[in-house]
Structures are given as C-alpha cells and as structure tokens.
Amino acid sequence: MKIAFTLLIIIFLVFSGYHLTFRNVRLPFLARQFYFTGSEFLFLGVLLGPQFLNLLDRPTQNSLAPFISLLLGWIGLIFGFQFERTKIKNFAKSSFTAAVIEGTACFVLVFFAVYCIAPLFLDIPGGMKGDAAVVLAATAACTGQSGLALVVLEYGARFGRLSRFLRLVSSIDGVVPFVIFGLFFSWRIGGLPYLSGLGELGGGLIVLLISCLGALLIFVFFLREARKESELILLLIAVAILAGGMSSTLGISPLFLTFLLGILLVNTLREKERIYQILITVEKPAYLAILLFLGANWRLTSAWIVPLAVAFCVYRTLVKVSAGMFVTRLASSGEGRIPALLGFGLLHQGGLPLAMLLDFQQGFLFQGASGIVGLVLLGVLFNDVVGFFSLRRLLETSMQ
C-alpha cells in the first residue's frame, strides 16, 4: 500500500507540477529562479524522504527500482538522441572542438582539485577518493540550457549569435565528462568474473557493448514492421526499464548505457523522429521525478558542506571562465567574435548532472557518498542563481 501510495504521490506531484514549473511567472527574482528550474522539487523530495514524511524511504525506493530505471533510461535516451550525425555536422568544426575542449578542461581541473581537497573535509574512505572526484568533476563540467532559456524569456531573443553559440556549447560540453563518468562506473562497479582476463575496464566495456548491442537489436527487429504509436510507447517503456535493469544488474551505468543506445538509434533508425517526439513528451516530468528522488536522499552530513559547496562553486566558476577564455580563441574563427568571458555564460548546470547524480547514488554505496550528493545539489542550486546573473551580464555586455 505504501509503495502504491508513494508512487501515486510522485505521479501527482510530477504531472501537476510540471505545468506550473518552467514558466516565467511574475514572482520576486529568487523565487522565480527557484520555480523556473524546478528546484522546489528537491525540497518536496526532502519532505517525502526519511527525514520528514518517510514516504520515500530506502525500502520503498528499492521497490520502485523499475520506476528509477525507467527515469534514468528515459533521460539517457533523450541525451543520446541529441547526437545525430547530420545535425552535428551543421556546427562549425571549430565550435564543436571548442565545446568539447571546454568540457574536458573543466573536468580535469575539477577532478584534481576535488581529489586532493574533498577528502580533507568530507568523510570519504581513501579508496573512494577517485569515485568522489569523478562524479563531482563530471557534474561540474556539464552546462545546462535552462539558464539561457530563462534569459531569452526575460529579454526576448535579442542575442542571436552568442546565444546560439552558448546553446551549442551547453549541449556538447558535457559529453566527454559524461563518457568518462560512464566508463569509470563500468570499471568500478561492473565487470564479470569470467571477463577478468580483460581487466576491470575491459570487462566492463565488453559488458557495456553486449548490453547495448542487445538493446539495439531489439529496437531494430521490432521496427522492421510499421508500428502504431501505442506500440512505440510500449517499446520505449519496456526497453528503458529493461536496459536500466540490465545495467544495474551488470554493474554498469543505466544512464550511460541508454545514452549510447540513444546515439545508435538516432543514427540508424528511420523512425527516430517519432521516437524522439514520444521521448520528449515526458522529459520534464522525468526530470522532476529525479529531483524528488535526489531530494529524498539529501543529507547535510557535515557542517563543512555549505562552505565547501560555496568554495566548490567559486572554483567551478574560475575553471569555467578560464576554460572559456581558452576556447574562445578556437571558436572565434567559426562563429565570429566570441567574448573572452564566455565562461560566465556557462554556469547553469541543468538536468544531466542531476541524472548522473541519481545514477551515482544508486550504484556507489560507500560512506561519504551522501556528502558528495549533498555537495553537488547545493552547487546546482547556487549555480542556478549565480548563473542567471552572470549570463545576463555577459549577454548585455556583448550587445554593447
């Protein structure tokens, strides 16, 4: 009864909430910012979690595993579907390279800083320093598009060229860090005893490839016939749950597996547009549900978390600005003149880091993991506010 009731509450909150959220309603700035990005769902999650109502406790979350698999699988597919070869080819090569370099540089710089400093303040066992550093660096490197959307809503679409470039960077810069995160996940958690000869990473990769191939072939054979929309919905739900569950069992990242599957599907299937239309119908509700689950497990485990989160965000800002400065030189040839302080427009983190965080939370159950989740969540909230101001300033400056 509790599981059903909790699921009912989640469905209600998510579907009633998403029509009200993501809108530019007339509210005081901070409240609007909070509301627009759906951050209130993090706090609703805290309310549902063990600290208050105890509806979304650990056993209930375990029972809702298929639902979590569906969420991660769905988001992974959507992310993968953005990498259609023909669309990517439309971008200037230099801009694409710049976006990739920016993301990778951020990942590397945050990784080393976190690896050296975070264990001093958070209760992270020695062997898990790398795990913490990878997830923090990967989530920090991603840039979301919600900040840009909010500024455009606020001021109208006046910043054509620069906002186009920012949109490109924010959709591409998370790729390399995300791939590193996915491979790291497979290396740390995955691998099967009979593949030990290939090494932990090799074994994880083989498992990943076989799983991905299996799911892809199901799609390919299923779509050999003309299918109705209801059949495509069935296929997507079933494959998202199947792939999510399969990857959990095999110890690989559900999000990463479905991301790879999404890339393969969008570049091989004729039905890709119909599938994508179904996928994006529930993108926002899926994202809000992820926030609820993250909120339910949010703990401020140490007094250091808040100052550490502020320091982390300041450092991330510095890294983004430095990386931005570096890549503007590369991109300026393809996109015209790009402002050197581009990095100030890349502070919003968006939904992908949250999905990665939920993925991490499910797979990495070590002491101190909840501290890392808390740190990232605080960082996301902080960046949502700061990111808006800095992006607006950047765009206004570029207009002058």
Partner 1 sequence: MNRQNRTEKRWPARVMILVILVLLAVWLQSVHARSGWQQAGFTSFSLGFLLLLAYVSANLLNTARIPLISGYIFAGMVIGPHITGLLSHVMVTKLRLVDDLALSFIALTAGATLHLKFLRKRIVAIVLNISLLTILVFVLVSGFLIVAGPFFAFARSLSRPQIIALGLLIGVIAVARSPSSAIAIIRECRASGIFTETVLGVTVAMDVLIIIFFTVALAVSRMITAPDPVLNWHVFSALLGETTVSLMLGAVLGKGIAVYIRKVNRDLPLFLLFIAFGISKASFWLDHFMEAQYAVSLHLEPLLVCMSAGFAVQNLSSQGARMLESLERISLPIYVLFFALAGASLDLTALRMTWPVATGIATARTIGIFLATWLAGTIQGDPPGHNRIAWMAYLTQAGVAIGLAQLAERQFPDIGVYVTTLVLAVITINQVVGPVTFKVALEMVGEAESV
* Residue 304 DSSP symbol: T
- According to CB under 8 A, which one of 33, 95, 163, 362 is a site residue for partner 1? 362
* Nearest alpha-carbon partner for 3 in 39, 48, 46: 48
Alpha-carbon gap, residue 157 to 395, rounded angstroms: 11
Binding to partner 1 (CB under 8 A): which residues in 18-47?
A: 19
**How far apart are CB 389 and partner 1 at their closest, in Å?**
33
**Residue matched to tokens 């991109």:** 331
Of the candidate residues 3, 47, 206, 269, the single one contacting partner 1 (CB under 8 A): 3
Which stretch, 11-19, 95-103, 107-115, 152-160, contacts partner 1 (CB under 8 A)?
Answer: 11-19
Annotate each residue in 201-220 with x if it binds partner 1 (CB under 8 A) or - if it does not, as one string: ---------xx--x--xx--
| Cα distance between residue 272 and residue 77, in whole Å | 11
Contact pick of 47, 100, 195, 233 for partner 1 (by CB under 8 A) = 233
Cα–Cα distance measured from residue 107 to residue 119, given in angstroms and rounded to the nearest whole number: 18
Report the residue number, 165 or 184, with the smaller CB distance to partner 1. Answer: 184
Q: How far is the CB of 246 from partner 1 (least distance, A)?
A: 5
Q: Which two tokens mark 370?
A: 């909840």
For 219, the enclosing helix (H) or strand (E) is helix 199-222
CA angle 181, 248, 11 (to 5 degrees): 95
With respect to partner 1, which residue has the nearer C-beta, 215 or 381? 215
CB closer to partner 1 out of 247 and 328? 247
Q: Establish if 297 lies at the interface with partner 1 (CB under 8 A).
A: no
CA dihedral over 34, 105, 199, 131, signed as positive or negative:
negative
- List 90, 126, 127, 225, residue binding partner 1 (CB under 8 A): 225
C-alpha span between 84 and 148 (Å, rounded): 22
Count of helices and strands (H, E) across the chain = 19, 0
CB of 64 to partner 1, least distance (A): 9
CB of 288 to partner 1, least distance (A): 13
Candidate list 26, 127, 221, 400; residue touching partner 1; CB under 8 A: 221
Q: Is residue 50 within the footprint of partner 1 (CB under 8 A)?
A: no
Q: How far apart are CA 162 and CA 271, in angstroms?
A: 33
Q: Around Cβ 330, how many Cβ atoms within 10 Å? A: 19
Residue whose C-alpha is closest to residue 262's, from 236, 285, 234, 282: 236
Cβ neighbours of residue 296 under 8 Å, at least 6 residues apart? Answer: 45, 46, 48, 49, 50, 56, 61
* Residue 122 touches partner 1, criterion: CB under 8 A: no
Of residues 248 and 317, the one with the C-beta less far from partner 1: 248
Q: Among 49-57, 83-91, 223-231, 307-315, which window interacts with partner 1 (CB under 8 A)? A: 223-231
Sign of dihedral through CA atoms 71, 76, 81, 82? Answer: positive
Residue 344: C-alpha distances to residues 99, 130, 138, 141, 350 (Å): 14, 28, 18, 13, 15
Query: Within 320-349, which residues bind partner 1 (CB under 8 A)?
Result: none
Interacting span for partner 1 (CB under 8 A) from 135-143, 248-256, 257-265, 372-380: 248-256
Q: Which is nearer to partner 1, 103 or 182 (CB)?
A: 182
Q: Does 139 bind partner 1 (CB under 8 A)?
A: no
Q: Which residues bind partner 1 (CB under 8 A)?
A: 1, 3-5, 7-8, 11-12, 15, 19, 62-63, 65-66, 68-70, 192-193, 210-211, 214, 217-218, 221-222, 224-225, 229-231, 233-235, 237-251, 254, 282, 285, 362-363, 365
